[in-house]
Structure formats: structure tokens, C-alpha cells
Structure 1
Amino acid sequence: MDDEQRYRAVHSRDARFDGVFYTAVLTTGVYCRPSCPAITPLRRNVRFYRSAAAAQESGFRACKRCHPDTVPGSPEWNLRADVVGRAVRLIRDGAVDRGGVGSVAAALGYSERQLNRLLTGETGASTLALARTERAHTARILVETTDMPMADAAFAAGFSSVRQFNETMRAVYDRSPSRMREAAAGRATATGSGTITLRLPYRSSIDLEGTLAFLGDRAVPGVEEYTDGIYRRALRLPHGTGTVELSPGTGRAGGHVACRLRLTDPRDLAGAVRRCRDLLDLDADPEAVADVLGADPILGPALRAHPGVRSPGQVDPAEPAFRAVLGQQVSVRAARTLAGRLVERFGHPLETPDGGLTHTFPTPEDLAAASPDDLPLTRARSRALVGLAEAIASGRIDLGPGCDRDEAERRLVELRGIGPWTARYTRMRGLGDPDVFLETDLGVRQALERSGETATPAAARARARDWSPWRSYATHLLWASSTGMEERRSREERRGR
């Protein structure tokens, strides 16, 4: 988009571009989301920025009416596979707070100076400025939704001092933390016992029911549970553990997922929120997906049945890789049972179990130290699982948010017992790649055959070229259409009997 197109989007208050760019107004000194309900400023008084951090670095503060820091993240950074996209994903995951700018630069193979130059050129802000924005938003959540002492909130959000915390909050939000808490009185929703309740925004539309059901169908006993449309799971985080409950948001505001977190260490808040957003693919752009897939004769009907389809991700990139090995050539239910046995044997018990959530999923180190004979699997699959765990634990394979997806897939298929389907499924769900097509998957092939298409891997791969760069969503639509056909057939058979 050029600036004139951006201004037209602002004039029409188009919410699709919230988080994609930000509007700064010279006369007021504030920056807004494109859909801000305030009077549209004159074109000559408007500046546009690619990130909230860039607007803040230019001296603008967040609008108190539209809260631009709470918009869904730009889908561009998940789509991009270059260094800037990988760096932004690392920063959003809290890598700067945990290890400094140097750790991000080292993970990407660049110097700090090179990294800052690249990020400033693409986002308008440096590594530290981007991290500062994430830190300020985390602090805002703790200030407005908990009764945590201000000093504790400051350090939990990643600030090195209370003074830095106060100065940043005043610069970004034009008010002190104490005033922010006073303004939020009466609408705060989280108190006590390490519990934080917040809203996760998304771009409409969204097939949230289908996404939660997809996760629920694959819920591993002890780690996950799904009841009455509510999905819950245990989390392993950098500073401790936690649990999360995700459900459709209610109330007049709409447009959000209700998220209830219980954390053993509040420093993990930003990381937990990022993992939940990745899990539900909340930063996706459903309009862009529909533009490519909606007119297709195969996918169009499925998309109309599931508007706003998402490609669910993960809360730990290694977990989908292990579960993909368990799911090789078995049903979803069988894979779920095998994963439950693995958790029972090698998972880490939660200090405080929460209902059916009792363990976190085994770590790569846990499984790398296991003997293949101790795993509840066939000999060949046990060796594949242990070999995969050893490669991840040793660092030979990087599945983190800043990894090179092509390199990760190449190294995965080099391992014994890891085929293309396992590697690409890991890339789609574990690494959040929006453009993965599983042409050898049984459900995909069955859906293509029912649509009258040739379902050989080569033919399916060729057919899917038209669906790029959203082939992961195409895969989920084919799975959904196949499931829908089976459900309709089952209902017809029951009526016949």
C-alpha cells in the first residue's frame, strides 16, 4: 500500500488494516489504529508507520480511545521467511527480555548493528524499540487487570527499574501507571492466585468454534482438555509453568477470544499471550485468504461453510514435531492415546494440577534421554522419536520462532524415520508457516477425490499451486470438508437405520 491507499482505509475506518499500519496525527501527537472512531484528520496532518514502535520512537503516544497497542499483530511477519520476519517473531516471543539484543542477533547469524539496520529499514524501529513496545503492552495488562503491586508489575513486564517503567508508561500512554489502574477500576477482571483474564483480539471473521474443536479432537490427556466449547491446556514457559483456558468472547465488544491464564511466574505473561495467539492463529488475515481461496470450485464451498478458517499453531514448536511422529499412519484418536501414554511416562507434573490438566508435555531433553525400549511405540517409531529429540535438544535442528523454515524442514527429513509428511506437518503447525500443503495426507486426498480431482501427490501438488501463499488454510479446508462429509454420511446412515 502507498500512503494515499492507507489514508483511504483510514477515511473508511477499515478494521482489516488494524495492526498492519498505524496512523499518527501531527496536531494531537497521538497514533491510532486505522479504524479509530475519532474524526478523520486532514491528510496533511497524518503520518503512517509500519509498527507501533516506530510511531512511539517518533514521539507519538497511544490513542486513549482506540487503544492501538491492543490490535491483532500484522500477518506479514508470520508470512515472511526473511531475516526481518524471523527477528520480529523472536522479539514478540520475548527473546530480547530473556537474552538481550545480542541473543536475537546471534540466533539469526547477524551482528547487532546489521540487525538494527534491517529492522529500522523495514519496521521503522530498532530491536530495542520493538521490544519496548511489547514490554509496555505487557505492563499495561498487569496494571489494568490485576492487583499486583506496581514494582512487581514493572519487573514482571521486563523493565529493569521502576523508574524506567514509569517513564515508559507515561511516554507511551500519556499517564502514570497508578492513573491507568484507577481508570480501569470496575472493569478489571483478574485478581489473585496468579490468574489473569484478558481479551485476545482478532480480525473478523473467524471460525473459532472450528479451531477450538480441531484442538479438542487432538487433546492429549493430562496436557489438554476440551469441554462445552472451552479449550484448556498446560503450558511450559521460560520461567515456570501455567495453564490457559480459551473460549469465545462474550459481551457487546465481541471480536476477541476470552483468555484466562494461571502462571507460576508473571514474567511469562507476554510469552504466554504470544503462544496463545499462535495457537489460534489470531494474527491471520481472513480477507486475504478468502481473496485467493474463495473463488476456487473446490475450496469455495468449504470456505463459505467455515468463514474465517484458521491454521492452528502451537505453544511449543517441538511438541507438534513429536506428535507428528506419533500420528504417522494412525488415526487421530490413536495418536492422541499414544501421546497420553508418553505424557504419563515422561511429562512433568504441574505443581498445582488444574482439573484434568496435570502435566506439561515432555521436553526434547526428556525424550532424548529415554531408551527406545521404554517408549509405548513400535521399535522403528521409538527410534525416530528419540532421534528427533536428540537433534532438537542438541541444537542440530532449530524449531524456535526465529528459525529458517526451509533449513528446519531439510534437516528434519534427513533424520531416520522422518518423512516429508512429518516434516511438513511440523512446518505448518510447529513453525506457523501459512503456505504448506500436505499432498500425501489421507484426509486431503479423500477430499480431493470426492471433489472429482485426481488425488495423486503430483496432481494434488500441481492443483495446490493456485492456492499459494495460503496452502495451509487450503489443507485445513480440505480436512474440514472431509470431516463434514463423514458427519453427513453418518447422520444419513443413522436415519436409514
Structure 2
Amino acid sequence: MDDDQLYRAIRSKDARFDGVFYVAVTSTGIYCRPSCPATVPKRANVRFHRSAAAAQAAGFRACKRCRPDASPGSPEWNARADAVGRAMRLIADGEVDRGGVPALASAVGYSERQLNRLLTDELGAGPLALARARRAQTARVLIETTSMPVSDVAFAAGFASIRQFNSTMREVFDRTPRQMRERSPHRSEAPADGARLRLPLRAPIAHAHMRAFLGARAVPGVEEVRGDRYRRVLDLPHGTGVAEVDLAPGAAPGPPHLPCRLHLEDLRDLGTAVERLRRLLDLDTDPGAVAEVLGADPLLAPAVRALPGLRAPGAADPDEYAVRAVLGQQVSVAAARTAAGRLAERYGKPLPAPAGELVRAFPRPEVLAAADPADLPMPRSRGRALVALCEALASGAVDLGPGADREEAVERLLAIRGIGPWTADYIRMRALGDPDVLLAGDLGVRRALERLGGPPGGDAVRAWSPYRSYATHYLWAWDGHESED
């Protein structure tokens, strides 16, 4: 899109572009999301930026009315498999805060200088500036939703010093941290309540389908669905946590969102926890773009009309979903869920304090790699495949993290005896978050296609790109969720 097209998007206040680009207004010195309810500025006073970090680096502060830093993420970063896309997923996951720019560059296979150039050319900001914008957003959430001491917030958000923290918050939000807290209507007076926040999204969302999909696959002791509320244990870099998300969009005024509450052992994990929930619930997608592509196909159009806003759930923990993919080979959804529950009960790490029915984290690959295949709740051959997969994950021979090379990961998965194309593609779709995977050999997909009029031709399937993962989910929904998993 050129600048004139971007300006038309802000004149129409099109919320689909929130998080895709940012609008900086030279006459006020602020930057906004495209759907900001304020009066549309004159074209001569508008500058466009690909990232909040670029707008901040250019000297603009965040609008207090539309809160552009809280926009949903760009769907571009879910789809792109190049170095920039992989780096953006890693930055969102907190890689720079944990290991610095050297760790980020190493993860994507570039030098620091090359990576900085690539990100700056595309987004107007380098990795440090992008990570700084993420830290500022995390700090704002902690300031406004918890009663933590402000000094603790600074280090929990990833800042190196109180001085750096105060300077950044004043520069980005035009308020001191204490002023932000005093003016927030959302702050919890009881630390035990956890951090309450909103997970922004692009409407609509088929929350009843999401509830059914996650509920049918919820691993006992690790996750649960009750009514519209989804709860699960998160295994995070600095400790465990429990997330509670209302899958029905919040009724509070403002942009569409899902209410969320996080109970974390270490609040340094807040930004990472939020990003992993966003990937799991596929909150950065553009449902309008998906419907435009898939709804144009006569075969899929009935399913698309029946479920507007359907999401393609990803993974809160890619390694966990890879293990669950092996558990689900050639068995029903219910059987896979039962096997996963037994595995978690025997090998999962107990929580320091149970949270109702949630009592443990899903077992880590290094734990399962040491297991005897004969002791696992599955046929011996599948047990050997699962142990081999976990050995590869634990050693780093297979990388499924947010910065993974998807093609390379699939090749290495297929090299493991007992992992075939269905399993590798399922892992690619959910654990790696690839939006363009059609599980053509899946039983539920085949049944749905037969009911809809027969398998499509190759040209039709190619026309579903880049949203073939969504086509898979639409076909599963049409089949009634009784597919293999």
C-alpha cells in the first residue's frame, strides 16, 4: 500500500490495519492506530510508520486515547518465514530481553549488523528499539493492572535501570509511571488477583468454535475450559504461570479484546506469556482477509459463512504441541487427550500451588527423552518415535521456537522414524504457527470435502493460499470436530 492508500484507511478508521502500520501526526507530536476515534489529521501532517518503535524513534509519543501500543500484532509476522519475520516473532517472545541482540542474531543465522540493517530497512527501527517498545508496553500493563512497587515494575518489564525506565515511560507515554498508576481505573489493589489485561484482536472471532476446539483437546491437569473461560498452565523462561482468558470478547468500551488474567511466578515473564497466548489463540490474524480468500471458493463458502472469524489455534508451547501431535497419530481427539493427560500426570512438573484443577505443567522434552518407551501410554513404536522426537528437541537438533526455519524443521521432523507427513504438517500448522498448511490426508478433512462435493482440484487448493491452515479448520468444523488429531 502506498501512502495515499494508507491515508484512506485512516479516513475510514479501518480497525483491520491496527498494528499493521502507525499514524504519526506532526502537528501534535503523537502517533495513533489507524482506527483512532480522534479527528482525522490533514494529509500534509501525517507520517506513516511500520512499527511503534519507529514512531517513537522519530520523536512521537503514544496517543492516550487510542493506545496504539496495545494494538493487535500484524498478521504479516505469522506468515513470513524470512529472517525479518522470524526475528519479529523472537523479539515479541522476549529473546532480546533474555539474551540480547547477539542471541537474536544467532537464532536467525545473521550477524548483528546484517540483522539490524534488515529490520531498520523494513520497520524503521532496529532490534533494540523494537524490544524497547515491547518493554514499555509490558511496563504499562504492570503499572495499570497491579499494585507492584514501581521500581519492581521496571526490572520485571526488562529495563536495566530505574533511570532508563522513567525516561522511556515519559518519552513514550508523556507521563511518569506514578502518574500512569494514579490515573488508571484498572489497577488491582490485591496482588493475588494477578495481572489483568486485555488481549486485543481484529473482530470478529468465532469464540464458540474456539471454546469447543480447545475444550475437546484440553489436557487434564494442564488446561481446562469452563463456559467461555479457558485456563492453562504456562511453562515460561523464569517460572510457571496460570493464564485465564475469557474467549468471548469483552463488553467494555473500546477496541475488541479478550479479557485475560495472568498469575505468574516471575513477572518478568508477562510479555512472553502474553505473546504465547496470542499465538495459541491466533489473535493477530485478519479474519476479513481470510474470509475474502476462502469465501470466494464455492466449496468453502458455506463453511466460511457459517463461522465468521474462525481462528487457527497455534501453540503456547511448541514442544508440547509436537509431543501431542505424536500422541494423536491415528487416534481420536478424545483418545489423544486421555493419553496426553496420563503423560502429564506421570512426567509433568507440579505447580508450586495448585490453581483449582490445574496442578502441573506439561512435561518438558528433556524429561520425556529419558523415559522408557515401554512405560509410555501408547503403542511401543509410537513411544519410540515420541522419545526420539524429545531427544531431538532437547538437544536442539529440531527447533520449533518462534524463530525457527519452518522448512528446515519439517525436514528434520520427517527424518525421525515414526513421524510421517501428517504429523510433520500438523506440527508445522500448530507448533510453528504456519497459516498455510492444508492437512489433505486428515480423515476429518477428507470427510468434510466429500460432504461438500468432493476433493478440489490442485488449482483450487493453491487459490486457498496463504490461508490453507484456516481451510483445514473450516473443514474440521464442518465435519464436527471428529477428525483425527
Greater mean deviation of Cα atoms: 296-305 or 407-416? 296-305
Matches within 5 A, 1:83-102: 83-102=83-102
Which of 476, 481, 485 aligns to 1:479? It is 476
Which structure 2 residue ranges, 5 or more long, are not aligned? none
Equivalent residue number for residue 41 of structure 2:
41
Alignment of 1:467 with 2:464, yes or no, is: yes
The CA distance in 2 between the partners of 1:386 and 1:190, in whole Å, is: 46
Deviations 1:388-428 (A, max 9, x none): 00001011111000000011011101100000000000010
Residues 434 and 473 in structure 1, CA contact (< 8 A), matched pair in contact too: yes
Equivalent residue, structure 2, for 1:433: 434
- Check 1:431–1:460 CA distance in 2 against 1; reply closer, same or farther (3 A cut): farther
The one-letter code of the counterpart of 1:261 is: L
How many residue pairs get aligned? The number is 481
Contact kept? 2:444, 2:482, Cα under 8 Å: no
Matched, 1:235 2:252: no
Amino acid aligned to 2:472: T
Q: Which residue of 2 aligns with 1:191?
A: 190
Deviation at 1:191, TM superposition (A): 3.2
Matched, 1:112 2:84: no
The equivalent of 2:156 in structure 1 is 156
CA contact (8 A) 1:190 1:197 kept: no
> In the TM superposition, what are the counterparts of 1:306-317 in structure 2 within 5 Å?
306-317=307-318
Does the C-alpha gap of structure 1 residues 190 and 123 become closer, same or farther in structure 2, counting only changes over 3 Å? farther
User: Which amino acid counterpart does residue 60 of structure 1 have in structure 2?
Assistant: F
Aligned to 2:54: 54
Q: Which residue of 2 is the match for residue 246 of structure 1?
A: 245
Distance 1:438 1:8 in 2: 38
Amino acid paired to 2:443: L
Tell me the alpha carbon deviations over residues 166-213 of structure 1, each in whole angstroms, 9 at most, x when there is no partner: 0000000011000000110x3324731261111101001111221122
Measured on the aligned residues, the alpha-carbon RMSD in Å equals: 1.4
How far apart are the structure 2 equivalents of 1:221 and 1:444?
Answer: 26
Q: Secondary structure at the match of 1:398?
A: coil
1:139 matched to 2:136: no
Identity of aligned residues (%): 64
SS of equivalent to 1:193:
helix
Please, what TM-score do these two structures have when normalized by structure 2?
Answer: 0.97
Residue equivalent to 1:343 = 344
Amino acid at match of 2:104: V
TM-score (norm 1): 0.95
1:239 and 1:460, CA in 2 relative to 1: closer, same or farther beyond 3 A? farther
Once the two structures are superposed, the pairs formed by residues 121-132 of structure 1 within 5 Å of their partners are 121-132=121-132
Give, in whole Å, the separation in 2 of the partners of 1:364 and 1:35: 43
Deviation at residue 298 of structure 1 after TM alignment:
1.8
Q: What residue identity is the alignment partner of 1:148? A: M
Measured against aligned partners, the alpha-carbon deviations of 1:84-125 in whole angstroms (never above 9, x if no partner) come to 000000000000000000000011111111100000001110
| Counterpart mapping for 1:62-101 below 5 A | 62-101=62-101
The letter for the 2-side match of 1:415 is I
User: Could you tell me whether the CA contact under 8 Å between 2:476 and 2:482 is conserved in 1?
Assistant: no
Instruction: Letter of the 2:121 partner, please give it.
Output: G
Deviates more, 1:187-196 or 1:16-25: 187-196
Tell me how far 1:484 sits from its aligned partner. 7.8
* Structure 1: unaligned runs, 5 residues or longer: 487-497
Deviations 1:44-71 (A, max 9, x none): 1110000000000000000111110011
Q: d(CA) in 2 for partners of 1:251 and 1:258?
A: 9
Give the AA of the match of 1:240.
G
**Superposition pairs for residues 268-287 of structure 1, below 5 Å?**
268-287=269-288
**Are the aligned partners of 1:86 and 1:401 in contact in 2 as well (CA < 8 Å)?**
yes
CA apart distance, 1:252: 3.6
Residue 332 (structure 1) aligns with: 333
Q: Supply the distance in 1 between the matched residues of 2:343 and 2:458 (Cα, whole angstroms).
A: 34
Cα 1:86–1:181, aligned 2, differ >3 Å: closer, same or farther? same
Bigger shift: 252-261 or 159-168? 252-261
CA distance in 1, matches of 2:467, 2:354: 38
Structure 1, 207-216 or 87-96: larger mean CA deviation: 207-216
User: Shift of the alpha carbon at 1:295?
Assistant: 1.9
What secondary structure is seen at the aligned counterpart in 2 of 1:431?
coil
Aligned equivalent of 1:27: 27
Q: Distance in 2 between matches of 1:187 and 1:398?
A: 39
Q: Does the CA contact (< 8 Å) of 1:155 and 1:161 recur in 2?
A: yes
Equivalent AA in structure 1 for residue 402 of structure 2: P
SS at match of 1:322: helix
User: Contact 2:198–2:259 at 8 Å: present in 1 too?
Assistant: yes
* Contact 2:77–2:86 (CA under 8 A) maintained in structure 1: yes
Find the counterpart in structure 2 of residue 323 from structure 1.
Answer: 324
3-state SS of the aligned residue for 2:196? strand
Deviations along 1:194-243, one digit per CA (max 9) or x if unpaired, are 61111101001111221122111100111011111211111100000011
- 1:288, CA displacement in angstroms? 0.8
User: In terms of mean alpha carbon deviation, does 366-375 or 154-163 score higher?
Assistant: 366-375
Q: Is the 8 A contact 1:439 1:460 kept in 2?
A: no
Aligned to 1:491: none
Kept after mapping to 2: 8 A contact 1:437/1:461: no
Shift of 1:246: 1.1
**Residues 368 and 390 in structure 1, CA contact (< 8 A), matched pair in contact too:** yes
